[in-house]
Structure formats: C-alpha cells, structure tokens
Amino acid sequence: MSTSPDDLRSPPLSRTLLAAAEAVQAVAQGRSLTDALAQTEARLRPGAQALGFHAMRQYGWAGEIAAQLVRKSPGPLFDALLRVSLALLRVPQPQPAQPAAPAAPAIGMPVYAPHTVVDQAVGAAAGQRRLAPYKGLLNACLRRFLRERDALEQAVAQRPRACWNHPDWWVERLRADYPDDWQRLLAAANVPAPLTLRVNRRRAGRDDVLAALRAEGIAAEPAGPAGLALAEPRPVQQLPGFEQGWWSVQDAGAQLAAPLLDVRDGMRVLDACAAPGGKTAHLLELADVDLLALDADAGRLARVEQNLDRLGLRSPRVALAQADAADPASWWDGRPFDAVLADVPCTASGIVRRHPDIRWLRRADDVARTAALQARIADALWGTVAPGGRLLYVTCSIFPAEGREQADAFARRHPDATRLEAPGQLLPIAAGATPAEQRDGFFYALFAKQS
C-alpha cells in the first residue's frame, strides 16, 4: 500500500487540540483517558495523547482559570477545549537567552507561540459543529487570559485545585495521612514518569538489551535487578526487542512484587488479579511454576494472554481464568497454592503521575469502597494458601487505608498469618531523581501461613 503525502504531514494543531479536548471531555464524563484515546484517529493519537496527558496534569488550574473567564460554559466540549488550550498556553516558553527549542524538557510538550495556540484553538472550534457558534467566545476567553494572565493566576493561586492540580478531597487526605510529605507527594504526581523496562531473562540478558538500545541511539541505564530506565520515553513498538519479547514495560516499584514471593520450580502459584500481566510474566520468568492467572474482566484478561504470548511464556502449565478472586468457590479446585499474589484493586493513587486522569475519576468515598473490597479478596484468598505458603498483598496506592491499615487488620483477623519482611509503603520518587531512581507508589505486605 502506498503512502500519500497527506499521511506524511503532521496534522494541524487545531485537529490535535480538538482530539485532545474530546478525550478530556470523556474523562469528565467518567471514562479513562486511555480508553478515550484508543478511539482517537490513529494519525492524531500521538499528539492528542501528549496534550491530553498534559491537560490532565493542569486540569485543576485550567478549570479555576476557566471559571474566571466564562460564567457559564456552553457545554462540556467547549469547557474541555478551553481547558486544553489553557494548559498548552502554560507550557513554559524558551528564555530569550536560549535558542528556540521544539519542546519544554520539564514536561515534554511542544512549545507554540501564544497567538498560534489561540488561532488554532479557534480553528478547532470553527471546524466542529457543536463548537462553531462559540468560536468567538473561545477567542475572547483565551485572549483575555493572555492580557490578564498575572491577575487571573493570582486570583486562583491559593485554591488547592489550582495550586496542586488534584481534587480538594485528595489534597486534604494526603495532608492528613502525610503531614510532612503531602506537598512533595502532590508535586511528584505532576512529574511525567519515565519509561522503565523489565528484561525478560528467558529471552535476553540486560546487558544485551542495553547494548541494543544504545546501538539505536537510545539512552538508558540499569534500574534495579532486572530493569532499564530510558532517558526519554519512546513508542514501545519502536524499541529493539519488542516483537522478540526481550522485555516488558514495568515501573521499578512494581518490579519488586514477584521476587518477594520467592517462587521456586514446581510450585503452584496464583496471580489473583493478574491484568495486564506484568507481574504474571515476571513470576514465570523467575521459575518454572504451575500458575493460575485470574481477572474479573475478560478484556483485560485477553491482554494478559497477549503479553505472555509476546514474551514466550505461555505453556500448558499456565492457565488463565475470568473469575472473581473474592469467590474461590467459582474457580478454585481445592488444591492449595504455595504462593499467592494479591495485587488487589485500589484507587491507584500511587501511579497518578503515569495516569494523571485517575485523580479526576476518583471520588472521596472510593477509598472506603475499595478498602472493603480489598479485605474481602484478601480473606478469601487466604483460604487457598497452603500451610507454609505465602501471600503477598500489593496495592499501587499511597493511601494508608488501602495499605498499612489493611495489612494490620488482616493480621488481626488471621492469627495463623506470620508477617514477613517486606517494603511496606513505598512513596513515589520523581522530582530531582534520575529516571533509574524514579518509581511509583506501592504498598507491600507479605504473610506466611503457619504449618
């Protein structure tokens, strides 16, 4: 199939702005940004993804500024386009003493002259039927922002949503849970995460993968026992070794899970909440085990299968099942497991720098709801652990209600559970750290069942 000249040209900024606004609107209506972007035209998706993620990191500030500019929004898509445009106007401009640069390294967004952003945003509105009647209003709002920027920013500077770009309840919860660290945690959540790989030792050595990356001019450095952190994110399909299954994408903090279970050849292992399969694959890379991977979502379970196929880890000893981990009667054959990984559902408050829409999708009462679900799953899974076996409780949350408090309560409910050494609460490391030093937030608690 031939490639037309139109396919080779970058799409106009106006179309990228509109595509990003449609994805941001979807988040406001309760959909994940990833799911929304998956519906975006392929040619527009890379730019819309970069802009959409940036807009999510500026969503609170942009919303407060937008409220100063227009008393009543004409609709959710207008509101989303206004917020996305304001977020793009907030990308730092190159300093006069520096040569003009195509990107702002701090946040990885292209730099556009303010008048270009305004003109292209108005063009985006003009080309969309629902927005066309309001292109004049959008133009007026953005030009007023440029004229009165200092005063408008000062007016919202003390509002938590504008200052920290998190919902008010999230800010207050972190302030209560981490009185000494809450500001650092909120700031870290707005630092885009590096691309970290975990080398599949069944297919490649880390030194070999590192050499292949460097041969392609891709800077990377070792991170942890099996990881590689790239200096700059790249589309994974363009990295050497993707098709060959040399590696998986996995945060450095998440790479601690499988080794903690200390799996050995011949063990019977359960990954109770497996999707998308990163920890499942890691377990299979470490030992030849009989493994059952569960997930309640058939679509997400299919991703586990795809990842295992790419990594060359599918075998008759690996079974996948769509099932509710909290209901063993529906899936368990009664044979106990030597090791159980319980990476339970949570608010995902520890990975918001990687998924900045999460903070805007969650509600204050979600913490209590997920905590109740976590307790139910952990209690159900404990009954499947063999005497002398281990259960690893994991969340990608930094809220103690989903971590330390859960583990303490579990130990009180199960006197036959012996607490083993584990990292406990890992807080995110971001600002000021090298890519290899960075990680998301996780909680780990390891229990052994008394014989």
C-alpha dist (Å) from residue 291 to 104, 217, 255, 294: 45, 38, 18, 10
How far the first Cα of the chain sits from its last, in Å, is: 64
* Active-site residue, selected from the candidate residues 141, 273, 346, 396: 396
Question: Which residues on adjacent β-strands are paired with residue 445?
Answer: 393
Q: Which of 426, 432, 379, 370 is nearest to 401 (CA)?
A: 370
- Can you read off the two tokens belonging to residue 396? 């990608």
Residue 266 and residue 391: Cα distance in Å, rounded? 17
- Can you read off the two tokens belonging to residue 159? 């509002």
Measured at the alpha carbon of residue 82, what is the angle toward residues 80 and 84, in degrees to the nearest 5? 70
Residue 447 and residue 391: Cα distance in Å, rounded? 5
Question: Which residues on adjacent β-strands are paired with residue 198?
Answer: 227, 248
Those residues with Cβ within 8 angstroms of residue 121's Cβ, 6 or more apart along the chain or in another chain: 14, 17, 81, 85, 138, 139, 142
CB 241 within 8 A of CB 228: no
| CA dihedral for 391, 397, 398, 404, sign (positive or negative) | negative
- Can you read off the two tokens belonging to residue 114? 């303010």
Is residue 346 part of the annotated active site? The answer reads no
Those residues with Cβ within 8 angstroms of residue 72's Cβ, 6 or more apart along the chain or in another chain: none
Residue 441 and residue 445: Cα distance in Å, rounded? 14
Residue 161 and residue 64: Cα distance in Å, rounded? 8
Residue 352 and residue 367: Cα distance in Å, rounded? 15
If 0-12 CB within 10 Å is exposed, 13-18 middle and 19+ buried, where does residue 377 land? Answer: buried
Q: Which of 294, 318, 299, 308 is nearest to 384 (CA)?
A: 294
Three-state DSSP at 374 gives helix
Q: Which of 135, 85, 74, 139 is nearest to 109 (CA)?
A: 85
Residues that are catalytic:
396
